[in-house]
Amino acid sequence: MAEKAAEAKVLEDRVEIPADAAELAHRIVEIASDKKGNDIVMLRTAELTTMADFFIICSGRSDRQVSALSGAIVDGLRDAGIRPLGIEGRQSSRWILLDFGSVIVHVFAPEEREFYGLERLWGKAAQVVRIV
């Protein structure tokens, strides 16, 4: 009896993620990889926050590449009719945040990524994909 209660609790803690959120997250990883993004990580954050189902974190080697990566993601999804709800950080090109609702993308310059350490901050999130 206790075993069934424990199993029910585990199922209760799982958050159902819409298939389109997972598809969107994987498409973003694909675009970032095609544009030579560095150390691409997809974290499943649905169980930890209501902010987003997935965080995608990647780096560019320079400010120019950070800007190009974020632009490629926006352009690649625009072709599919998907537009970001918000974009932050374009002016500095050191940390650009793209908010697609269920998926939030962080494109960093290497120094900023190390300094802010989002992977450490969201360390309890399940790592779905990592492309080094």
Residue 32 sits in a domain of what CATH number? Answer: 3.30.460.10
Of 24, 26, 33, 38, nearest in space to 77 by CA: 24
Average pLDDT over residues 18-28: 88
Q: Do the domain assignments include residue 8? A: no
Residue 16 — very low, low, confident or very high, per pLDDT cuts 50/70/90? low
Distance (Å, rounded) from C-alpha 119 to C-alpha 46? 15
**pTM (two decimals):** 0.84
Domain extent, residue 29, equals 18-131
Q: Do the domain assignments include residue 102? A: yes
Q: What is the pLDDT of residue 110?
A: 94
Q: Do the domain assignments include residue 123? A: yes
Query: Which tens digit of pLDDT belongs to each residue from 43-83?
Result: 999 999 989 999 999 999 999 999 999 999 999 999 889 99
* Residue type, position 39, single letter: D
Q: Do the domain assignments include residue 125? A: yes
Query: Which tens digit of pLDDT belongs to each residue from 77-113?
Result: 998 899 999 999 988 889 999 999 999 999 999 999 9
Split into its structural domains, the chain has a count of 1
Q: What is the pLDDT of residue 69?
A: 96
